[in-house]
């Protein structure tokens, strides 16, 4: 198990919480909640070690398009970068409802 943490600057307050995905399916879950700061923090718990650079690239791309202040918890069971991006988008969309 590897735990990775990333921080990103943020300028917009997020509306609510979002929860998508299921770890047990061999996928991942994304838990998102508003942060009361001027940054976003992401914590990744992954069963696949050695992919910190890939995680950073996926998260860098996501936060280059979104600047909501959020705390994101990702529990990963080997999802692909495409699936990670999809789940992040879904969690953010769910938080906007």
Backbone angle region of 78, left / alpha / beta, with phi > 0 → left and psi within -120 to 50 → alpha: left
The CATH number of domain 2-91, selected from 1.10.3470, 3.30.230, 3.40.50, 3.40.190? 3.30.230
Contact 43, 76 (CB under 8 A): no
State residue 71's pLDDT score: 98
Distances (CA, A) of 27 to 6, 22, 32, 41, 85: 21, 6, 17, 21, 12
d(CA 4, CA 36): 21
pLDDT tens for 14-44 read 889 999 998 876 689 999 999 999 999 999 9
pTM assigned to the model: 0.93
Average of per-residue pLDDT across 68-84: 95
Residue 15 neighbours by CB under 8 Å, 6+ apart? 34, 95, 96
Give dist(CA 34, CA 70) in Å, integer. 4
């Amino acid at each position: 198990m590897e735990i990775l943490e990333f921080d990103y600057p943020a300028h917009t307050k997020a509306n609510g919480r979002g929860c998508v995905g299921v770890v047990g399916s061999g996928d991942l879950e994304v838990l998102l909640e508003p942060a009361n700061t001027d940054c976003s923090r992401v914590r990744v718990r992954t069963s696949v070690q050695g992919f910190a650079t890939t995680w950073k690239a996926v998260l860098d791309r996501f936060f280059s398009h979104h600047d909501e202040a959020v705390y994101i918890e990702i529990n990963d069971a080997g999802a692909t970068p495409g699936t990670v991006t999809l789940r992040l988008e879904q969690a953010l969309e769910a938080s906007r409802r």
